[in-house]
Amino acid sequence: MDEVSRNLARYVANCRFEDVPGPALQAAKRAVCDTIFAMVAGSSAPGIDVLLDFAGAWGGRGEARVIGTEWRLPAPKAAWCNGAMARALEIDDCVDFLPVHPSASAVPALLAIAELRRGLSGRDFLTALAVGQDVKIRFGLAVRENAMQSGRNNMFKIFGPTGAVARALRLDAEKTQQALGISFSHAVGDGQTALDGGLSLRLQQGIVAEGAVMSGLLAERGFTGARDFLFGKYGYLRAFEPNPNMPPLTDDLGRRFHGDLITVKPYSACRATHAAIDLALALRLKVGASVDAIKRIDIAVSPEVDRLVGAPREARLRPDSAAAAQFSLYHTVATALLRGRLFLEEIEPACYTDGAIRALGERVVVTGDPAMRTESVIGRTRLSATLADGRTLVFESTTPFGSPANPISVEGLAEKARRCAAYCRRKLRADAVDRIAAAIDGLEAASDAATLLDPLFEAA
């Protein structure tokens, strides 16, 4: 058995709450709050009703709750639904230097385990999440070609939440190794759906959350998977990511946690559009809400960002779904200029089919420029606005709002949660956001992490 997979399993199994640095612990707490309310809003997102219809019809033992409903379903199926909700509206957290979403599948998987095994402490929940986030980001750093370059959309994303589940279940190193090996069978990585505006992009996080829960529970019962799941002859890194960059995956395991690098997203859109949205809002402050003064807007981004949210121009100009609108620089920039914001209201059909927004989008020209590449997958973004009076206003960004270097405040995170709460499938109590935020703030003292969800299921 290769030492890398063995050491990874040991790290996951042996990590203690005391090992998690303060910044990573705070990042885990933010992620719990941010992801819970991403699920709350996502419960009413397009396509989720179809998944709920399936899951409700399948039924099964009521082990874990499904957000936005009054249902209890088998823990893996609850994670499947909740994981899809978490990713449905492009408001779950991410990191800016990689196209990686560290929490959208890990939090739903851990909540399902917490409900299945009542008595999972808040300390163990936070430790498991911090480990899962760290593992996922480490795998992203080890990949030579990121998902925006390869199109594989992070097949490795199953390993992070599976590590989180294994830690929550307190599996030993051997069973953790088996859980990670089993989870290799649940690896998914379809990037084309993002380009096509398909709903299956959100489904992938549900599949991963379900797979993580199943992998941990199967390993706990003695089921086995690929032991050499990384460097065996057909292991993940040999088969799918040859020539990996190993130091980020292996160095300082248990000492350096990468959760403090996580971004909280302020806008309901692909993170690759956020710098341009920031710049559009800065332009709006200069010229006001009237767009008559703007003749043309040139946006320069890296070629990878252009391929994801800029090209092909004609398709991006006229998004035909919320998912397509969220991956359109034309829609997001034009909407930010006209409305002064871009959140859930701005990805509804009335907005992405609005004639004024589309007309302004026609004045936007996106260019993929290799000079805009940086070590971060987001790269640099430059917005140049040509005005009717002949002036040109130029704005540039390398640190979009929400990043650790340009963070959302605690108050801003609470406001985001409140705006998400309004989109829940079922009406929530007026104090639900505040009660959940308070519970998360003191989560390390909680004896049962599953109680976090209680305010979402009380009658309004």
Q: What is the pTM of this model?
A: 0.96
pLDDT at 95: 97
pLDDT tens by residue, 392-444: 999 999 999 999 999 999 999 999 999 999 999 999 999 999 999 999 999 99
Residue 1 has pLDDT above 70, yes or no: no
Give every strand in the sheet of 392-397, ordered side by side.
364-368, 294-301, 381-387, 392-397
Residues 220-257: tens digit of each pLDDT? 999 999 999 999 999 999 999 889 999 999 999 999 99
* Of 204-218, 283-297, 329-343, 369-383, minimum mean pLDDT range: 283-297
Question: Can you tell me the mean pLDDT for 64-77?
Answer: 97
pLDDT digit string, tens, across residues 281-317: 999 999 987 888 999 999 999 999 999 999 999 999 9
**Domain positions in the chain:** 3-266+408-456, 271-397
Query: What are the pLDDT digits (tens) for 134-173?
Result: 999 999 999 988 888 888 888 999 999 999 999 999 999 9
Which class is domain 271-397? alpha beta
Top-level class of domain 3-266+408-456: mainly alpha
pLDDT, residue 151, reads: 81
- Mutual orientation of helices 75-87 and 106-116 as an angle, nearest 10°? 150
pLDDT of residue 62: 97
**Residue 267: pLDDT over 70:** yes
| Cα–chain center distance at 131 | 16
pLDDT score at 426: 94
Query: If DSSP states are collapsed to H, E and C, what string results for the chain?
Result: CCHHHHHHHHHHHHCCHHHCCHHHHHHHHHHHHHHHHHHHHHCCCCCHHHHHHHHHHHCCCCCEECCCCCCEECHHHHHHHHHHHHHCCCCCCEECCCEECCCCCHHHHHHHHHHHCCCCCHHHHHHHHHHHHHHHHHHHHHCCCCHHHHCCCCHHHHHHHHHHHHHHCCCCHHHHHHHHHHHHHHCCCCCHHHHHCCCHHHHHHHHHHHHHHHHHHHHHCCCCCCCCCCCCCCCHHHHHCCCCCHHHHHCCCCCCCHHHHCECCCCCCCHHHHHHHHHHHHHHHHHCCCCCCEEEEEEEECHHHHHHHCCCHHHHHCCCCHHHHHCCHHHHHHHHHHHCCCCHHHHCHHHHCCHHHHHHHCCEEEEECHHHCCCCCCCCEEEEEEECCCCEEEEEECCCCCCCCCCCCHHHHHHHHHHHHCCCCCCCCCCHHHHHHHHHHCHHHCCCHHHHHHHHCCCC
Average the pLDDT over 191-196 and give the result: 85
Average pLDDT over residues 268-282: 97
